Amino acid sequence: MKAVYAGGFKWLYRCMKTLKDLGEHNAIAALTANLKAAGDDCAVLPFAGAPYDLVLTSDPLIAGIHFTAAAPPEQIGWKAAARVFSDFAAMGADPQYLLINAVAPPEQNFETLKKIYSGVHDVCAQFSVELAGGDLAQGPALELHVFGAGCVPKDKAVFRSGARAGDAIYVTGALGDSLNTGKHLTFTPRVKEGKWLRQSGYARAMIDISDGLATDIRHILKASGSGADLIPAQIPLNGTLEQALYDGEDFELLFTVRGDEADRFDFDCLHELEHKFHRIGTVTAAPEILTLAGEPLERKAFEHFKN
């Protein structure tokens, strides 16, 4: 994460006194101004004497925000761990260990909590990840704070900052309507695909789509100092184009590939993964300008503290 506002906009923080005033993204920028680690979806840290870098991430899952009371408990646990694995996928990294701090009210049904942890174990087993520990504390609502540790070969993590004009833009799967279809509780994190994209050398910039295509691609554009034009007819949809752009909770990978390598990339995907990804647009030279079929795309998306 980069503190892009910390210097030139100090006056902004003097005027804005609450998180509602700032919003999620401005608050993160201010709070992380002095971080030394590289990283986007995860922090990437050198590990002395090892041929790999240490990769760390965390994600909260909170009742009423990320799931409802009607959600099956096994799916709550699945989502809690899978969201963290999706962060690793976006860096091309291997997840290895999880720790979970659970917060719950005294009235929490213990059998339900056991089923939630069963869902955690299911997704951990699928990706050969060990649940290594955690803690349990009392609070007003059910919360799962999940911490992940993994690794990536030294200096090989895929960041958001590598996109360049002329790159082709891809997504790994269909987007939109995740809440209505239940995909946000049952998605399979793209760990295998993210690792292959890193190993193959094709992915120049990458992120997972948690806040909607239109929001998350802007993170790549900001980090890369570039722009993008999306082709609406080529965006794979679950539902409407509006939902694909702004709904979020899809947890597909969004990445760029050199334009002159795109055709070979398509062939290699079919040959090595037996899967073809969706080419949805092109990176442009206009810094942070996002267009849809050449027309400027509106900024609107969920943001913690503002929505």
* Domain-located, residue 303: no
46 and 105 housed in the same domain: yes
Q: Are residues 10 and 108 in the same domain?
A: no
Among candidate residues 212, 278, 223, 302, the one with its CA nearest the CA of residue 248: 212
Residues 137, 188 within the same domain: no
More confident residue, 82 or 13: 82
pLDDT at position 304 is 59
Tell which of 93, 125, 153 closes a domain: 153
Share of the chain above pLDDT 70, in %: 86
DSSP output for 173-199: S-BS-HHHHTHHHHPPP-HHHHHHHHH
Q: Are residues 145 and 168 in the same domain?
A: no
What's the average model confidence in pLDDT over 217-229?
97
- Tokens 């269909």 locate to 174
Range in 6-10, 45-49, 289-293 the model is least confident about: 6-10
Average pLDDT over residues 91-116: 98
Q: What pLDDT sits at residue 167?
A: 98
Among the candidates 107, 134, 153, a domain finishes at 153
Q: Once rounded to an integer, what is the mean pLDDT over residues 277-300? A: 95
Confidence label for 303 from pLDDT (cuts 50, 70 and 90):
low
Question: What's the pLDDT score for residue 275?
Answer: 87
Q: 2 pLDDT band (50/70/90 cuts)? A: very low
Cα separation, 179 vs 250, whole angstroms: 9
Please tell me the predicted confidence (pLDDT) of residue 6.
Answer: 45
Q: What digits encode the pLDDT tens for the residues 148-184? A: 999 999 999 999 999 999 999 999 999 999 999 999 9
- Report the C-alpha gap between 158 and 161 in whole angstroms: 9
Number of domains in the chain: 3
Whether pLDDT at 288 is above 70? yes
Residues above pLDDT 90, as percent of the chain? 81
**Choice among 10-19, 51-60, 128-137 with the minimum mean pLDDT:** 10-19
203 occurs within a structural domain: yes
* Residues of the domain holding 66: 38-153
Residue range 263-278: mean pLDDT, rounded: 94
CA angle 102, 108, 110 (to 5 degrees): 80
Beta strands across the sheet bearing 130-138: 38-39, 43-46, 52-62, 143-153, 94-104, 130-138
Q: If you average pLDDT over residues 30-40, what whole number do you get?
A: 63
The first and second tokens of residue 173, run together, are 């799967």
Length of the chain: 307
Burial of 105 (0-12, 13-18, 19+ CB in 10 A): exposed
The predicted pLDDT at position 47 comes to 87
Same domain, 166 and 67: no
Residues 4, 128: one domain?
Answer: no
* Residue 167 belongs to some domain of the structure: yes
Q: Which amino acid is at 29?
A: A
pLDDT at residue number 4: 42
146 plus 188 within the same structural domain: no
Same domain, 143 and 264: no
CATH number for position 164: 3.90.650.10
Sheet containing 290-292: order of strands: 203-208, 253-257, 168-171, 278-284, 227-230, 290-292, 295-296
- Return the CATH number at 113: 3.30.1330.10
Residues 114 and 48 in one domain: yes
165/289 same-domain check: yes
